[in-house]
């Protein structure tokens, strides 16, 4: 099996990297705004239907929604960053053929 050098990533270029990370930060800012509105809306609905149950309940709901949205959005933003810059194409994705992995025993 031969080892090949990985191709150069477009993110190695400072101009491309600056543009890509600026786009990622813009996505995260929009996600933060959407998260704040979603948490506010969810807390308002819960308060309207249940009243003041416990402050711990509202803190847990706010943290649960916030962390879920920000983690999911942050990871999806990294996928967009990786795919949008061409970084995915620079990865050597050679898979060995079936014959390279296993060959039947000879009798």
Rounded to an integer, the average pLDDT of 67-80 is 92
Alpha helices, DSSP H only, in 51-102? Answer: 55-84, 98-101
Q: In the chain, how many domains are there?
A: 1
Does some domain include residue 52?
Answer: yes
pLDDT in the model for residue 88: 63
Model confidence at 89, pLDDT cuts 50, 70, 90, reads: low
- Global model pTM greater than 0.85: no
Nearest to 10 by CA among 102, 88, 75, 100: 88
In a domain, 20, yes or no: yes
The domain containing residue 39 runs over which residues? 14-84
pLDDT of residue 80: 83
Give me the pLDDT at residue 1, please: 46
Task: Output the pLDDT for position 36.
Answer: 97
User: Per the domain annotation, does 27 fall within a domain?
Assistant: yes
């Amino acid at each position: 099996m031969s080892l090949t050098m990985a191709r150069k990533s477009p993110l190695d270029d400072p101009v491309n990297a600056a543009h890509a990370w600026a786009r990622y930060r813009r996505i995260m800012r929009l996600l933060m705004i959407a998260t704040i509105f979603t948490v506010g809306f969810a807390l308002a609905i819960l308060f309207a239907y249940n009243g003041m149950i416990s402050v711990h309940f509202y803190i847990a709901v706010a943290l649960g929604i916030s962390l879920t949205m920000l983690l999911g959005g942050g990871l999806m933003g990294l996928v967009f960053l990786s795919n949008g810059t061409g970084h995915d194409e620079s990865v050597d994705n050679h898979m060995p053929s079936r014959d390279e992995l296993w060959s039947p025993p000879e009798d």
